[in-house]
A and B are shown apart, each in its own frame.
Chain A
């Protein structure tokens, strides 16, 4: 039995209603934990005053420089003692999840046992960077909990100016749209940068995210410094049986209004079967006895919409790989930035292919470490120096797939023009 609970009239109101309540969970924990009794006390105070009462500090585990988010209470009595003394320290351990966030119950139960022993009993699946967040341990218990989690085969995630924990989608494990082995790429890339994850020494954070197709379920373009997004180069594949099944259920109105009209490049057409074009870039499939779909794949931007609507009837091609974009981030300091294409396509089928991705990640992080200003993200650095300079440093060839349009102003010194043209022509000759 724990000590008497504090009155929590505000939090009590978050126990009603149908959605699962974290307050009810905390109260369950508080039944035999003074630690959580006082956590609820402080949280109730925040609800009353609309103020946060945690401050950071320095807490870590032996051998690592990051991964623990230290929290000490700032809610003090007049004599400087904590108002809720049993929850005066409430640190979080960020632990990296397996790719795709798959678990077996033996592992989850072991997490629970460890956190029941050393922590508050509160675990979040997952934080916004993908970490399993073991929330609430005293300074003394952080090391004990980490040692046991680490012995299970789990390792600390990133915090501060470090390579951060990554996420990948369910991907090849259960999704027909998967264009590369997301889990292998995720694991092999991240495990190359463990030193940069565990010992923060970059100008600022650096995030990788791995999405298996352009639906980008990991929000990689908006949320990662390096986004690896599956795509394909050859034609969309078709399956006539599934196309006819789809059409029988949905009909011509939906085909026209939901797909033809929504194709961003209008390359998706519906035609009488006799009028369907043939050619190496054409995908076509009959939807009934009279009509068929025709897609000119050279005009397709791989947006996924038609494939999402008619999944199975249409599918990504077989020459699969990934597009790599660099520089996504949220608002601070110069405003939100999306990633920019720097590698329009690379294969990711083999270890050797993944080595190339790792090498590119390594060179990007090295360049970032040397050239970014303090607290500057990769996207901000590229904005400051210009994409062309970044590409030059990364030894990447410029490609019109990297831009929305060529420049709209004349403010550029072009006295190297002939030299650049000569270089491009020389490369073409070799190819």
Chain B
């Protein structure tokens, strides 16, 4: 199908119907609609399956499967066919782009799982598994990406496939990836994020026409950018001794190119926890950096991710999230057990950072 530019816009412009968020009631599986707000408990008969029991005595089984998130229409139609056969034509998606099918008859669970797996959709991602990676757009669609997103996720999920389909981790493991330091992928037990290591390279010919210079100056977290005349043109300059290479200036001013094929590296962060369970929510911490942006499969990143998760799996106690485990064993032991180098760059010096330093004699030897 040729999608080249077509005829001009119609003369009569259609006004949008400002309908907002649609009502979800008609999309609910009939058993969910019937027992809305009246569920009693759930258990997990096997990885990838949730069994919910309502106060009415009704029961439903949810089968969860992984998807590639960026889905072609053929894949979506296939997922719909499966829903029409097994699940009353209803599906839902989780926050991590897994698809869920709900059935009211336990006998449908096994054939539904078989059908999903036959079509290449792994069943899992429940309970104490490693679930699908929350991710961003990357080279496929973002205007400021330092790396890809879907490709990194595909490469990593291939490596973590078995753990997605099992429930053998100490507690659930949420992963995210982000293709710049803005971190659209979000907080996670373990995250892979671009870390730039060189200040942006400025194309002075373009700045005056493309960038609103005061806005760019204001955007810099460390006040390292100032207006300047370069080659007779209004432009911007960077105090490179102040610049910490965050890339905040790049979105409002694309001529300040921060992405660098060699010097934009990948960093690994651990210990983010969204939930309030046990301790309060936590932000993740950087534990490794300097990994090469090695498309198409990022083997160096996968190696570090797997190393951390393997040690966590062996060493953590039941119900310890990654953050809980490190709270128990301490950071020195974390670096010792994972074999990751603890460098000076991992000592926080941003505002509020003193709370991240050890102001006690609590030291594990």
| Known A90-B141, A214-B275; 12 more pairs at CB < 8 Å | A14-B151, A52-B145, A99-B24, A103-B93, A128-B186, A198-B16, A215-B275, A216-B281, A303-B279, A312-B41, A335-B350, A335-B351
Interface membership of chain B positions 308-323, coded 1 if the CB is closer than 8 angstroms to chain A and 0 otherwise: 0000000001110000
- Give A112 to B182 CA distance when docked, in angstroms: 31
CA A381 – CA B20 in complex, angstroms? Answer: 28
Cβ of A172 within 8 Å of any chain B Cβ, yes or no, is yes
Residues of A within 8 A of B (CB): 2, 10-11, 13-14, 16-23, 25-26, 28-29, 32-35, 43, 46-47, 49-56, 61-64, 69, 71, 86, 90, 92, 96-109, 111-112, 115-116, 121-128, 130, 135-136, 138-141, 143, 146-147, 150-151, 153-156, 166-167, 169-170, 172-176, 178, 181, 183, 186-187, 190-191, 194, 197-198, 214-219, 221-223, 229, 239, 242, 254, 257-258, 262-264, 301-305, 308-309, 311-313, 315, 330-336, 338, 374-375
Nearest residue (CB) in B for A15 is: B154
A50 touches B62 (CB 8 A): no
In the bound complex, how far is the Cα of B276 from the Cα of A218, in angstroms? Answer: 12
Contact B16 A63 (CB under 8 A): yes
Question: Which of chain A's residues have a CB closer than 8 A to the CB of B13?
Answer: 62-63
CB–CB A13/B32 < 8 A: no
List of B residues within 8 angstroms of A218 by Cβ: 95
Return the CB mask of B229-259 against A: 1 if under 8 Å, else 0. Answer: 0000000000000000010100000100001
Q: Name the one of B20, B99, B155 contacting A14, with C-beta atoms under 8 angstroms.
A: B155
Query: Separation in Å of the A248 CB from the closest CB of chain B?
Result: 14
Q: Are A126 and B1 within 8 A (Cβ)?
A: no
Contact B39 A103 (CB under 8 A): no
Contact residues in A for B19 (Cβ distance below 8 Å): 150, 153-155
| Residue B73 lies at the interface, judged by CB distance under 8 Å to chain A | yes
Given contacts A54-B142, A221-B274, contact A126 B97 (CB under 8 A): yes
Across the interface, B277 reaches (CB within 8 A) one of A33, A98, A305, namely: A305
Query: Assuming the A-B contacts A28-B74, A51-B259, A55-B254, are A176 and B67 also in contact, with contact meaning beta carbons closer than 8 angstroms in the complex?
Result: no
**Cα distance A34–B2 in the bound complex, in angstroms:** 6
- A222 contacts which of B6, B144, B281 (Cβ < 8 Å)? B281
| A218-B95, A375-B219 known; A19-B158 Cβ under 8 A | yes
Residue from the list A140, A155, A222 in contact with B16, Cβ < 8 A: A155
In the bound complex, how far is the Cα of B142 from the Cα of A92, in angstroms?
10
Q: Please give, as numbers and ranges, the residues of chain A lying within 8 Å of B21 by CB-CB distance.
A: 96-99, 155, 166, 186-187, 190-191
B23 close to A (CB within 8 Å) = yes
- Given that A223-B187, A332-B248 are contacting pairs, would A173 and B3 also be in contact in the complex, using a CB cutoff of 8 Å? no
- A348 CB to closest chain B CB (Å) equals 12
Q: B143 contacts A174, CB within 8 Å?
A: no
Residue ID in chain B nearest A140 by CB atoms: B6
- Asked whether B71 is an interface residue with its Cβ less than 8 Å from the other chain, the reply is yes
- Contact partner of A71 (CB less than 8 A), chosen from B141, B184, B259, is B141
A to B CB contacts below 8 Å, 21 in the list: A19-B154, A21-B154, A33-B1, A33-B3, A35-B3, A43-B140, A46-B139, A54-B143, A62-B15, A90-B141, A99-B24, A105-B83, A121-B72, A123-B73, A150-B19, A151-B17, A176-B40, A187-B20, A219-B186, A254-B318, A305-B319
